C-alpha cells in the first residue's frame, strides 16, 4: 500500500537565531505523510537551515520539529539520521567507496547482513536508472554529474527512510536530465510512500514535484499551499512575482484535458478535422499550444486507455479557466 511508510513532519514555531541574524523565524507547517513538500525562496531565506534542523545538523533556537509526533530533539541524533534520507546539494558521495558501497552506507551503519546490503544496493541502482552491471563497481569520480546525483538519491533511499530531505538535489544537471530525474523521483516517491522535504530555487521544479509548496522569505513562511492554489491565489505581491507573470500558463500545466469541463454535446464527427486529438492526460498547457499551432478553436478529447471519445475542449473553456483565478 502506498503512503504506508511515510511519516508526518511538523514544524512548530521553529526559530533559528544566529548571533547577527535570524535564519529561520517562527516557522510552522505540517507535511502530511507520504507527500512531497517543496521549500522555495530567494537565496538566504532559510531553506537549508530549515532542512538541517530536521536531522539535527542544526539545532533550533526555539520551537519543535516533530516526526510522527515525536520531537526530534528527544532522539539520539545518530539514530535519527539513519532513519532520515539526506541528499545534499553537492551530492557528497564518498570518493573512496564504489557506487555500490556508497549506496549501502546506511544499511551498513544499521548492521544489515552483507548479502542484504548488496541486493538492496543493486536494486536501488536499477531503480534510479544506473545499470548495476556498469556502475556498481565504479568510483564517484567515474560518473557524470547527473549520474552522481542519481547515486546520491539511491544512497538516501537505501534504508527505506520514512522521511527524505533533499537540498537542491538536481541543481547541477542540464534540463533534460533534470526532467528525467524529477520523473524518476516522483515515481520512486509514490512507490515507496516516502515523505519528502525538497529545497529548490526553481519554481517550475516546485510546481512539477510539489504536493505542497512552502514559499519562504527572510526566514519566514510566506505561503504554504498546493501548487494549483499557489498559482491561482498568490498570498501577496511577493509570491505572485516569485511564481512569475506566466502563472496562468503554469497553472494550465497542472490541469488536464480530461479534468476540464468538456462539451459533450458535439459529435466526434462534427469536430474540425484539422483539430489534434487530445488524450485525457494531456495538460491544458500542451493542449492550448497544439490548438493554437493548428489554428483551431476546439479539439476532441479521448480516453488514454481505450480511446473512447469524451467530448470537446474549446479555447473558450481554457480561457474561462484562466480567468477564474484571483
Ligand X SMILES: Nc1ncnc2c1ncn2[C@@H]1O[C@H](COP(=O)(O)OP(=O)(O)OP(=O)(O)O)[C@@H](O)[C@H]1O
The contact set with ligand X (CB under 6 A) reads 18, 21, 23, 41, 43-49, 201
Shortest separation between residue 16's beta carbon and another protein, angstroms: 17
Stretch that binds Mg ion, among 46-54, 150-158, 180-188, 201-209 (CB under 5 A): 46-54
d(CA 144, CA 130): 11
Say if residues 310 and 280 touch (Cβ distance below 8 Å). Answer: yes
For residue 142, the partner it binds in ligand X, another protein, Mg ion, none, with Cβ less than 5 to 8 A by kind, is: another protein
Q: What residues line the site for another protein (CB under 8 A)? A: 52, 55, 57, 78-82, 86, 88-97, 105-106, 109, 138-142, 155-156, 165
Shortest separation between residue 128's beta carbon and Mg ion, angstroms: 23
Nearer to ligand X, 30 or 89 (CB): 89
What are 52's three cell numbers?
Answer: 538541517
Q: Please, what is the angle between helix 145-157 and helix 114-127, to 10°?
A: 130
Nearer to another protein, 149 or 314 (CB): 149
d(CA 114, CA 103): 13
Question: Contact with Mg ion (CB under 5 A): which of 48, 50, 105, 189?
Answer: 48
Shortest separation between residue 179's beta carbon and ligand X, angstroms: 22
State the residue for C-alpha cell 537505501: 158
Give the list of residues 6+ apart from residue 189 with CB closer than 8 angstroms, or none: 36, 164, 196
Return the exposure string of 278-290: e unless at least 16 CB atoms fall within 10 Å of the residue's CB, then b.
Answer: bbbebbbbbbbeb
Stretch that binds Mg ion, among 26-34, 48-56, 125-133, 309-317 (CB under 5 A): 48-56
Shortest separation between residue 169's beta carbon and another protein, angstroms: 12
Pairing verdict, β 163-167 and 84-87: parallel
Phi first, then psi, for residue 218 (nearest 5°) are 50, 40
Shortest separation between residue 197's beta carbon and another protein, angstroms: 13
Interface residues with Mg ion (CB under 5 A)?
Answer: 48
Amino acid at each position: 500500500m502506498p503512503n504506508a511508510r511515510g511519516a508526518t513532519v511538523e514544524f512548530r514555531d521553529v526559530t533559528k537565531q544566529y548571533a547577527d541574524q535570524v535564519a529561520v523565524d517562527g516557522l510552522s507547517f505540517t507535511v502530511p505523510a507520504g507527500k512531497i513538500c517543496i521549500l522555495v525562496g530567494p537565496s538566504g531565506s532559510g531553506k537549508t537551515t530549515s532542512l538541517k534542523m530536521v536531522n539535527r545538523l542544526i539545532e533550533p533556537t526555539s520551537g519543535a520539529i516533530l516526526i510522527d509526533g515525536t520531537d526530534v530533539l528527544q532522539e539520539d541524533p545518530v539514530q535519527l539520521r539513519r532513519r532520515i534520507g539526506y541528499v545534499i546539494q553537492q551530492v557528497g558521495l564518498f570518493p573512496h567507496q564504489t557506487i555500490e558501497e556508497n549506496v549501502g552506507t546506511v544499511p551498513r551503519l544499521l548492521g544489515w547482513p552483507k548479502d542484504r546490503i548488496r541486493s538492496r544496493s543493486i536494486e536501488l541502482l536499477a531503480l534510479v536508472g544506473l545499470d548495476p552491471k556498469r556502475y556498481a563497481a565504479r568510483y564517484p569520480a567515474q560518473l557524470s554529474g547527473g549520474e552522481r546525483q542519481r547515486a546520491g538519491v539511491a544512497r538516501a533511499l537505501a534504508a527505506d527512510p520514512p522521511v527524505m530531505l533533499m537540498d537542491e538535489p538536481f541543481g547541477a544537471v542540464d534540463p533534460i536530465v533534470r526532467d528525467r530525474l524529477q520523473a524518476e523521483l516522483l515515481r520512486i516517491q509514490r512507490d515507496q510512500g516516502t515523505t519528502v522535504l525538497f529545497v529548490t530555487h526553481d519554481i517550475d521544479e516546485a510546481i512539477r514535484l510539489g504536493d505542497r509548496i512552502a514559499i519562504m522569505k527572510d526566514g519566514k513562511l510566506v505561503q504554504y499551499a498546493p501548487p494549483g492554489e499557489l498559482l491561482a491565489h498568490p498570498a501577496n505581491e511577493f509570491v505572485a512575482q516569485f511564481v512569475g507573470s506566466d502563472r496562468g500558463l503554469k497553472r494550465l500545466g497542472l490541469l488536464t484535458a480530461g479534468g476540464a469541463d468538456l462539451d459533450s454535446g458535439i459529435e466526434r464527427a462534427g469536430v474540425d478535422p484539422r483539430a489534434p486529438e487530445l488524450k485525457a492526460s494531456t495538460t491544458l498547457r500542451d493542449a492550448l499550444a497544439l490548438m493554437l499551432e493548428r489554428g483551431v478553436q476546439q479539439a476532441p478529447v479521448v480516453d488514454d486507455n481505450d480511446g473512447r471519445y469524451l467530448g470537446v475542449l474549446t479555447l473558450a473553456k481554457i480561457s474561462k479557466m484562466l480567468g477564474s483565478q484571483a
